[in-house]
Amino acid sequence: MKTQNKKVLVMLVISIASLMLILSTSLALPSRAATFTFSKSNFHNPLIIDNKYFPLKPGTTFIYKGTKDGEPSSDNFQVTNKVKVIQGISTRVIHDEAFVKGKLSESTDDWFGQDDKGNVWYFGEATTEIATGSHEGSWEAGVKGAKAGIIMEAQPNVGDTYNEEFSKGVAEDKATVLSLNEKVCVPFGCFTHVLKTKNTTPLEPTIVENKFYAPDVGVIKEVTVKGGTDEDHLVQIKSGDSSKQIQSNSASTVQQDHSKSKSQNQPSEERQQQLQAEAKQLLKNNNFENHSSSR
């Protein structure tokens, strides 16, 4: 009788363990494919890009500094007044210049448009590697089977996975939303409620990046967390008038010792919220003043 009871107990334990394993595996599935329907009829004002996490106002330039392949790098992301019509939709032209050791290494035009729901679509890019003249990585929606992707959702949720770009064998970047409540400090300032994504591509499966988007500002940080050490940090936002700008305390902040505590010298939450509100208002008005003394 005792032996029988032991067998029953063992079987019960195994059953419970198996059930817990199944539940934990189900709960661990972090991503779900986000579905978007592309239709020209969904784009009535595609040039007005005011998505909370990816606002693009003409005349604004975002300046980043960091490292690429171990060398100091910088990137100028300029929102132009230029328009390119793709698949019958007017898209905003972004001129992006990448520098390594102070020399222009890559020049790119990206094309974005926002649909009526607030999703920002990525319609392609024309890129040139300065050293070789190569246009590798260039693609355009509607050409050679390429399709427009999503660069930012109108209502992102943790676990959402979507194609940022889709040109078979050329550009196949994917993003997964990991968090909507990160606290991130970069040379430009400190931000709360930051959206964090995991970015991958089947064309380079060994590389994983994280991107961070601050509300009402946009991309503030990009860092390679697997397969490399590249990183970019927002240091400045300026308007077309170079005399009016927001600037960080020092670009050298990017090279700071990251082994220090993240909380060290970090502004209070109240000050973080104030900085975030300032950036929002300044981007809205496109009237930038030098705020380096306030940090």
| pLDDT the model gives residue 27 | 41
- The whole-number pLDDT of residue 33 equals 78
- How far apart CA 113 and CA 87 sit, in angstroms, is 11
| Cβ atoms of 295 and 248 closer than 8 Å | yes
DSSP 163: E
Distinct helix (H) and strand (E) counts, the chain: 2, 15
CATH level 3 topology of 32-254+264-294: YmcC-like fold (2.40.360)
40 contacts 141 by C-beta, under 8 angstroms: no
pLDDT at position 183, please?
A: 98
For 72-109, letters b (16+ CB in 10 Å) and e give ebbbbbbbbeeebebbebebbbbebbbbbeeeebbebb
Contact criterion met (CB below 8 Å) for 231 and 223: yes
Sign of CA dihedral 134, 139, 144, 146: positive
Where are the domains positioned within the chain?
32-254+264-294
Cα–Cα distance for residue pair 23/134, rounded to 1 Å: 49
- Residue 32 confidence (pLDDT): 80
- Report the pLDDT value the prediction gives residue 263, as an integer from 0 to 100: 40
What is the block-wise mean pLDDT of the chain (295 residues), using blocks of 10 residues? Answer: 50 49 42 84 98 97 97 98 98 98 98 98 98 97 97 97 95 97 98 98 96 98 97 93 44 35 47 59 48 33
Q: What is the per-residue pLDDT for 272?
A: 57
